[in-house]
């Protein structure tokens, strides 16, 4: 498995295909394998790069690893793209990974030129999301105490309508869960993102996730609020 140095940690990645670069940023409680079908579909006309974010899969993490920020995750992603000479890329991210893509568009426009945001965790834009997030925290705490970290991650996936998702790296998941609130999603900052963006949600996304996607798309100047759950078409349109 090839490795590059991220922002102080080793990042494992894999590539498929050749052509314009596409960076695939996985979500919470999963790893680069979550993008296998997307990468395979893109490989005929693009250079699809999927990597394990810090603490997941074959990538490293600080010791102890209990917390992260979106900025930290974006620094990793930018370092990866620069090491591979893959910028400016189209970047696609899911939940917290979508926030990473937003941060890349805001602070690293030299390596990311467009974005696809799937189920973005843009909850500061949706006050009514607070109740749903509190319920998620309660579910995680109860399951963690009773059945352990892997069961808690599985319960979170099930609540998001993904009961078949294999629970990955509970330590990294809980770092991510706290990290969701670390990106300052200001209206002014979002309106300054000039790159084209497609905002998508999955059919099983809870109402507060859909509301966050709606709010985000309304603020980004060059955003298309898509309805398809599969990001392949959206990525191809941006390449």
Q: pLDDT (tens digit, 0 to 9) for every residue of the chain, 239 residues total? A: 799 999 999 999 999 999 999 999 999 999 999 999 999 999 999 999 999 999 999 999 999 999 999 999 999 999 999 999 998 999 999 999 999 999 999 999 999 999 999 999 999 999 989 999 999 999 999 999 999 999 999 999 999 888 888 777 899 999 999 999 999 999 999 999 999 999 999 888 999 999 999 999 999 999 999 876 789 999 999 99
List the one residue out of 95, 104, 41, 38 whose CA is nearest residue 75: 104
What token pair was written down for 97? 């990974």
Distance CA 89, CA 238 (A): 10
List the one residue out of 105, 118, 115 whose CA is nearest residue 185: 105
What b/e sequence results for 56-78 when a residue is b if at least 16 CB atoms lie within 10 Å of its CB, and e otherwise? bbbbbbeeebeebbbbbbbbbbb
Reported pTM: 0.96
Domains, the chain, ordered by start: 3-126+179-238 (3.40.50.1820)
What token pair was written down for 94? 């899911």
Q: What sign has the CA pseudo-torsion 13, 15, 19, 20?
A: negative
Q: Hunting for tokens 């052509």 — which residue is that? A: 19
Distance CA 60, CA 10 (A): 5
């Amino acid at each position: 498995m090839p490795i590059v140095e991220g922002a102080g940690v080793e990042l494992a990645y894999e590539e498929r295909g050749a052509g314009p670069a596409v960076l695939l940023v996985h979500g919470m409680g999963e790893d680069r394998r979550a993008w296998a079908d997307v990468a395979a579909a893109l490989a005929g006309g693009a250079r699809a790069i999927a990597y394990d974010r810090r603490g997941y899969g074959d990538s490293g993490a600080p010791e102890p690893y209990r917390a992260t920020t979106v900025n930290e995750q974006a620094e990793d992603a930018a370092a990866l793209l620069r090491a591979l000479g893959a910028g400016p890329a189209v970047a696609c991210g899911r939940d917290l990974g979508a926030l990473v893509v937003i941060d890349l568009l805001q602070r690293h426009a030299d390596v990311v030129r467009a974005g696809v945001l799937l189920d973005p965790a843009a909850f500061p834009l949706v006050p009514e999301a607070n109740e749903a997030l509190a319920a998620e925290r309660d579910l995680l705490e109860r399951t963690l105490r009773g059945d352990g970290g892997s069961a808690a991650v599985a319960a979170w996936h099930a609540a998001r309508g993904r009961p078949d998702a294999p629970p990955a790296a509970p330590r990294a998941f809980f770092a991510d869960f706290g990290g969701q609130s670390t990106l300052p999603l200001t209206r002014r900052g979002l309106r300054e993102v000039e790159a084209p963006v497609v905002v998508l949600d999955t059919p099983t996304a809870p109402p507060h996730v859909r509301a966050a996607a709606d709010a985000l798309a309304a603020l980004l100047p060059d955003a298309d609020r898509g309805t398809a759950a599969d990001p392949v078409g959206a990525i191809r349109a941006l390449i």
